[in-house]
């Protein structure tokens, strides 16, 4: 057979070569009889060797019948198929790359083969294919990514090991930029990180570590916005390694991407806030979560109070916190804000985290702070009696920060926040009460509370007990316009209507909760 094929090559007789391959394929390799199939596989490999460099012209015809035998019920035939394909690929070298996806697909199945000989044969073929990809600059990454994205969700340990080994190889090739396609595979990588096998977890950690190194090196080419929600999900994982790794990534993303992460604040806070109350068993996660929280808070600036959701024309210069500046596509991304979320009891994470759209015509970033979503998350955590003290303190620090940085927008939420802030005065922690009083003092003395037109028409009744305590007449006569005219010393800021609302409600609480008055009364008043 090899001599015959070589003669056809010398005569440039392609039709006869195709005819030989077809007979080996149809009548032998795909035969019903095992011995014929074995003969066909050996014949196809011999044919490929005889063709030499010309085998590249007939690869489709040579490869397909061999790959079909990968699914053979007989393990010996699967092994012969491995051996045949090894010889075909070894001769063709770089010419096999246009067929890479079908080869990868077949190999990924054999990686999980129950027969050790087949698995061993597939590993040899796998190494050969990796060498070819590493030394070539013809690899079609774009065409490969959809297959990788699909296979990365395999639950089989051997298949997962196979996938991670390929990701590590592709990461190591200078001409292949896998970072561009990280959003496609990041979720799958985090899932593999939770594998039961220590070896697979370690391999996955290495792969993720390499990606993070690359991100820090080239932040300008990173699609931060496309990966933000993936991190939000895995920052809430039950598995400690997944949660810690995702939280470390989140810390880097906030510090490198700056305000690009703002539209995802509500989701980030949902993930980060509960971690602040972790005990020493999860100390590492708690510390990283704390950095995430602090860094995110710093991204909110006074200009956010001026940017109206209805006026999308305003733009704001990007402020990445890293030394590297963001690239045009990333720096020009814009966050979509949501309408006010009235009456929603459950947190809709997907709705609160709208993706950024890219405006290539501008180098300036247009980020609208979705304050409604953030306040909803903070309110939700304050209402949750099961959350830890450090989380409650962090929530109150956020509210205080938002009232300082964005008072005008925050006062739209004051009526809905006021009752829970008053109830928090009954908290068992002195530190929580102090923070709560700071927030209430800021609300009561903020000029935004005078200019927003909040009168006393809703009176002092804020979801209170049936006890009626009316605002004194002279306080009630102070309209929002009248407040502006009041003269006071610099050390005594003008109080707005919420000061009176707070005082009346505090007296009501002391009246209805005698225990609060006895145990905390002096502390609160002082």
Q: Indicate if the pLDDT at residue 444 is higher than 60.
A: yes
User: ∠ CA(43), CA(49), CA(53), 5° rounding?
Assistant: 140
pLDDT in tens, 372-407: 999 999 999 999 989 999 999 999 999 999 999 999
Please name which of 340, 381, 336, 380 lies closest in space to residue 354, comparing C-alpha atoms: 336
Q: Mean pLDDT score of the chain, rounded to an integer?
A: 84
- Please report the pLDDT score of residue 447 as a whole number: 86
Strand order of the β-sheet with 366-367 is 357-358, 333-335, 366-367
Helix, strand, coil percentages (3-state) for the chain, rounded to 5, are 70, 0, 30
Mean pLDDT of 153-162: 96
Residue 367 DSSP one-character state: E
DSSP for 4-15, written as a single string: HHHHHHHTT-HH
| Cα–Cα dist 339/103, whole Å | 50
Structure-block tokens of residue 226? 């496309």
Structure-block tokens of residue 85? 């394909």
For residue 413, CA distances in Å to 27, 83, 420, 443 come to 77, 70, 12, 11
pLDDT in tens, 118-134: 999 999 999 999 999 99
Please name which of 399, 397, 374, 387 lies closest in space to residue 270, comparing C-alpha atoms: 374
Q: Indicate if the pLDDT at residue 518 is higher than 60.
A: yes
Q: Where in the chain is the domain with CATH 1.25.10.10?
A: 1-136
Residue 316 DSSP one-character state: B
- Please report the pLDDT score of residue 496 as a whole number: 83
pLDDT in tens, 98-115: 999 999 999 999 999 999
Q: How many helices (H) and strands (E) does the chain have?
A: 28, 3
Helix (H) or strand (E) run with residue 358 in it: strand 357-358
Domain 140-219 coded CATH 1.25.10: yes
Please name which of 127, 72, 63, 66 lies closest in space to residue 98, comparing C-alpha atoms: 63
- Please report the pLDDT score of residue 248 as a whole number: 98
Q: Taking every pair of C-alpha atoms in the chain, what is the biggest distance, in angstroms?
A: 113
Domain spanning 1-136, CATH class: mainly alpha
């Amino acid at each position: 057979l090899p001599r015959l094929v070589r003669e056809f090559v010398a005569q440039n007789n392609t039709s006869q070569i195709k005819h030989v391959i077809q007979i080996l394929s149809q009548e032998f390799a795909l035969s019903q009889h095992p011995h014929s199939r074995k003969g066909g596989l050996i014949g196809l490999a011999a044919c490929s060797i005889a063709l030499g460099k010309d085998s590249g012209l007939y690869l489709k015809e040579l490869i397909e019948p061999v790959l079909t035998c990968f699914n053979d019920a007989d393990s010996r035939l699967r092994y012969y198929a491995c051996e045949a394909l090894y010889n075909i690929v070894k001769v063709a070298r770089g010419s096999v790359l246009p067929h890479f996806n079908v080869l990868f697909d077949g190999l990924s199945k054999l990686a999980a083969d129950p027969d050790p000989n087949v698995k061993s044969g597939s590993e040899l073929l796998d190494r050969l294919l990796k060498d070819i990809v590493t030394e070539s600059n013809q690899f079609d990454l774009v065409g490969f990514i959809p297959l990788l994205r699909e296979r990365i969700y395999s639950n089989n340990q051997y298949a997962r090991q196979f996938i991670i080994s390929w990701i590590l190889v592709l990461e190591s090739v200078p001409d292949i930029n896998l970072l561009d396609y990280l959003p496609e595979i990041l979720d799958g990588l985090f899932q593999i990180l939770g594998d039961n096998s220590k070896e697979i977890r370690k391999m996955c950690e290495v792969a993720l570590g390499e990606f993070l190194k690359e991100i820090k090196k080239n932040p300008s080419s990173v699609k931060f916005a496309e990966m933000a929600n993936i991190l939000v999900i895995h920052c809430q994982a039950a598995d400690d390694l997944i949660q810690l790794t995702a939280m470390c990534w989140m810390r880097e993303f906030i510090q490198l991407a700056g305000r690009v992460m703002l539209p995802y604040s509500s989701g980030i806070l949902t993930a980060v806030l509960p971690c602040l109350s972790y005990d020493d068993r999860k100390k590492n996660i708690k510390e990283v979560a704390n950095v995430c929280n602090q860094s995110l808070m710093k991204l909110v600036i006074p200009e956010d109070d001026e940017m109206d959701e209805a006026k999308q024309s305003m733009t704001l210069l990007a402020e990445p916190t890293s030394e590297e500046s963001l690239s045009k596509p990333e720096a020009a991304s814009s966050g979509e804000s949501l309408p006010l979320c009235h009456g929603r009891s459950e947190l809709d994470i997907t709705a609160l985290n709208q993706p950024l759209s890219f405006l290539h015509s501008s180098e300036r970033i247009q980020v609208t702070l979705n304050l409604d979503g953030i306040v909803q998350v903070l309110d939700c955590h304050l209402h949750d009696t099961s959350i830890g003290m450090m989380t409650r303190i962090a929530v109150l620090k956020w509210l205080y920060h938002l009232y300082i940085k964005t008072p005008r927008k925050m006062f739209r939420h004051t009526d809905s926040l006021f009752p829970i802030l008053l109830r928090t005065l009954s908290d068992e922690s002195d530190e929580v009460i102090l923070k709560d009083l700071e927030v209430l003092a800021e609300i009561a003395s903020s000029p935004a509370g005078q200019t927003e037109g909040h009168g006393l028409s809703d009176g002092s009744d804020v979801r209170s007990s049936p006890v009626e305590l009316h605002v004194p007449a002279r306080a009630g006569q102070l309209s929002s316009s009248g407040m502006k005219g009041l003269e006071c010393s610099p050390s005594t800021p003008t109080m707005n209507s919420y000061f009176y609302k707070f005082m009346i409600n505090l007296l009501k609480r002391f009246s209805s909760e005698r225990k609060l008055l006895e145990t905390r009364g002096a502390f609160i008043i002082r």
